[in-house]
Chain A
Amino acid sequence: MRVTVERRLRQPRWLVVAVPIASVVFALAVAALVLLATGHNPLTTYHQLVDAAFLQTGSLGQTLISATPLAFTGLAAAAAFRMKLFNIGAEGQMYMGAITGAAAGLYLGGRGGPSAFVIASMVVAGCVGGVVWALIPGILRAFFKTNEILTSLLLNYVAGYVLTYLIFESESYWRQTKGFNATVFPTGKPLPHSALWPGWTIHAQGGIAVPLGAGFGLLAAVVVWLLYSRTRFGFEAQVLGDSDRAARYAGVRVRRKILSVMALSGAIAGLGGASQVGDFAHALDGDPNGLQKQGFGYSGIVVAALARYNPFAVVLVAFLIGGLQNAGNTLQGATFPAGLVGVIQGIILFSALGGELLIRHRIRIGRRVKGPAPTSPEPAA
């Protein structure tokens, strides 16, 4: 008996769908072992999880609240990872988008502009905040060849400190300074009414609120899809991701491409930050146990990888992982310890990665077939 791994010439379409689904199933099975080993009944836990995520009254609405930011961070990761530009900074770019988005909402909303104008400005401001923060690692990568993984990640911590600083450690423009509560526990200044993002209500499960941000998320998915499948820009970015040298010979302007992809990724993450403010928090949330505790930026990487960087799949996967995240928030307690969500997400990502092997390669068990050995279709570069 021997096991041989050969590269596939063609990747069957069904595998591209089957492997991610199998990854999730496998991950839940492994996580069940973790639960058993730590003295929990996995069946009860999973039952509660599905209930809290999708079935009980109001759960779908709550899941959308977690899924919306995940769609943004997932798209941000997918847009950059496709070019093998590893922007791990969606977390920090989202905080920055929240800060600039909130500033626009507070300032313009306070001056009494029409709601549509205020919201549009918040969207633009959020994108700009994310772009600025993403361009730091982008510029460093493009001009100094500095590893963007480390720089974008370290900036997440800095962005977290800035966010906390604005609400907790200073009397900034974003902080609520009037009223009794403000002296007891620092909070963000509430947005004026015209800066609140509207939503739609679906009349099911006692009313599911669909936030405006979810719409923007879909729009962003369409934009990323169009860019990567229908334009020269996306094509060049993918060539650059596959082979830096080939792209250079073909005349792709590498620096410009790095900057624009980083900016695109940052803009999407920043828009997610503005949506956090406009859709849900209605103020800048600087609490280290609030937005910062959710880790949307990191979960976005799981979403993007499981969706195999396909923008529409990102939206779908964001909804599923959003359900998991929502269940984690609702159930947190003795039977559902904090951290379980990350454990499950980590295992999902591991198995999705292992599954890539199955998509790219064929595994033969048994003796080799007689005849000429199959030649590998593309020798390693």
Chain B
Amino acid sequence: MNNSLLIVLIASGVAYGTPLLYAALGELLAERSGVLNLGVEGMMLVGAVMGFWTVQRLHATTGVALVAAIAVAAVAGAMMAAIHAFLVITLRASQIVSGLALTIFAGVYGLSSYLGNNLNLADQPARHSFSAVFPSSMQKWPIVGPIVFGQNVLVYVSWACVVAISLYLSRTRPGLNLRAVGESPAAADTMGINVTAYRYVHTIAGGAFAGIGGATVTLAITPQWVDGITYGAGWIAIALVIFAFWRPELCLVGAYFFGALEALAPQLQARNIQLGPTVLWTSSLPYVMTILVLVVVSSGTARRRLGAPSALGNAYVREER
């Protein structure tokens, strides 16, 4: 039963969806403060390459090496986000173009590839990687075994992050302030909230999450480094925030749905199931589905911009109010 296509798809959907979830949570934090960061793909790739580098070069036990790798990936992602934050918050540059610049700078053709080549990381298996935490007897339990107990530690941490961010936004003072900054920075400023500081902190924290998301790819899903290994996951994560109406719980659902779509191609191939030009259909599926869901979401409920922070995409200049 645990080998049925559905169970396997859900279980690997959770695994494949985890990088998307981390990246989407990070983007959500930034967007809630009013900063759109289109550089997620670039930040993920830099996090992915730096995390992988740490694991290859740090001589330590598996546990220490992996924790250090995640920390390095988070810092790397945060540094990338800091560039974007400086440009759009302090220099008031266009958030769209600056985000694209970040993707070009850090992405497939940029820094991540440069680092991967310069540090000679390609074509080697990871020395340490994340694996399932629970004993294999528990993983054999029907249904919940593979789906809930067959995952690595990053998956469980991501669940904690969803709960934490959800509570942060709805139950804490800084969370309330953050929402105020994203909805109406002028009103927040009048209330005495430091708009600039909130935007910097959350944009940079968002970068750290994207970096961890990238490291999830190179340390848990496919433990190796290949140029552009995230294959557009960063862009799907940005779309996910829109589908999720800027709510962390819904990010989780969306991430697993798209994770399952990504898992579909290898699973069908493993089972020798042919659906027409299989390779083309299944590999394009996550992208095409993202577009279709975007269309549904943007033409229906979100016509009223349900959940979108009102100040998203706008620089805040006190003198110009």
Contacts from A to B (Cβ < 8 Å): 7, 34, 38-39, 86, 88, 140, 143-147, 149-151, 153-155, 157-158, 161-162, 165, 169-170, 295, 298-299, 301-302, 305, 337-343, 345-347, 349-350, 353-354, 356-357, 376, 379-380
Contacts and interface: CB of A to CB of B under 8 A. Distances in A.
Interface string B76-117: 000000010001000111101110111111111111111111
Contacts of A305: 97, 101
Chain A CB within 10 Å, residue with most, of B91, B109, B238: B109
Contact of A357 (B83, B92, B96, B283): B92
B173 interface: no
A339 B110 contact: yes
Contacts of A340: 114
B101 A295 contact: no
B279 A376 contact: no
B279 A169 contact: yes
Contacts of B288: 154, 158
A298 B228 CA distance: 14
B132 to A, nearest CB: 30
A338 to B, nearest CB: 5
Contact of B298 (A34, A147, A299): A147
Contacts of B112: 339
12 contacts: A140-B294, A143-B299, A147-B242, A154-B287, A162-B284, A295-B109, A298-B103, A302-B104, A338-B114, A343-B111, A346-B106, A347-B105
A162 B280 contact: yes
Given A149-B38, A354-B93, A357-B92, A342 B232 contact: no
Nearest to B296: A144
Contacts of B299: 143-146
Contacts of B294: 140, 146-147, 150-151
A151 B116 CA distance: 29
Contacts of B290: 150, 154
A144 B301 CA distance: 12
A302 B104 CA distance: 9
A345 B100 CA distance: 11
A7 B92 CA distance: 12
Contacts of A299: 104, 109
Majority SS of interface residues in chain A? helix
A158 B283 CA distance: 8
A380 B320 contact: yes
B100 A88 contact: yes
A339 B97 CA distance: 20
A295 B97 CA distance: 17
B295 interface: yes
- Of the listed residues A162, A165, A346, A380, the one surrounded by the most CB atoms of chain B closer than 10 A to its CB is A346
A157 B108 CA distance: 13
A248 to B, nearest CB: 16
Given A339-B109, A380-B317, 5 more contacts: A149-B38, A154-B232, A157-B284, A354-B91, A380-B320
A193 B284 CA distance: 35
B104 A357 contact: no
| Top 9 A-B residue pairs of the complex, sorted by shortest distance between their CB atoms | A346-B105, A342-B110, A339-B114, A339-B113, A342-B109, A349-B101, A144-B299, A337-B117, A353-B93
Contact of A145 (B231, B277, B303, B321): B303
Nearest to A40: B118
Interface in B21-67: 38
Nearest to B117: A337
A345 B110 contact: yes
Nearest to B96: A86
A169 B101 CA distance: 33
A329 to B, nearest CB: 12
Interface of B: 38, 83, 87, 91-94, 96-98, 100-118, 227, 231-232, 235-236, 238-239, 242, 277, 279-280, 283-284, 287-288, 290-291, 294-295, 298-299, 303, 317, 319-321
B287 to A, nearest CB: 4
Given A342-B113, A376-B319, A295 B108 contact: yes
A151 to B, nearest CB: 5
A140 B291 contact: yes
A154 B116 CA distance: 24
A225 B92 CA distance: 28
A149 B102 CA distance: 15
Nearest to A84: B96
A339 B115 contact: yes
Contact of A342 (B38, B87, B107, B280): B107
B104 A345 contact: yes
Contacts of B97: 301, 305, 349, 353
Contact of B291 (A7, A155, A379): A155
Among the interface residues B38, B103, B116, B287, which one has the most CB atoms of the partner chain A within 10 A? B287
Contacts of B114: 34, 38, 337-340, 342-343
Contacts of A339: 109-118, 227
B56 to A, nearest CB: 16
Contact of B321 (A88, A343, A380): A380
A150 B101 contact: no
A150 B238 contact: yes
B233 to A, nearest CB: 11
B102 to A, nearest CB: 7
Contacts of A143: 299
B111 A342 contact: yes
B31 to A, nearest CB: 13
Contact of A153 (B104, B109, B235, B242): B235
A349 B105 contact: yes
Contact of A155 (B104, B236, B287, B303): B287
A350 B83 contact: yes
Contacts of A341: 109
Contacts of B239: 150, 154
B296 to A, nearest CB: 8
Contacts of B109: 295, 298-299, 339, 341-342, 345
Contacts of B242: 147, 150
Nearest to B321: A380
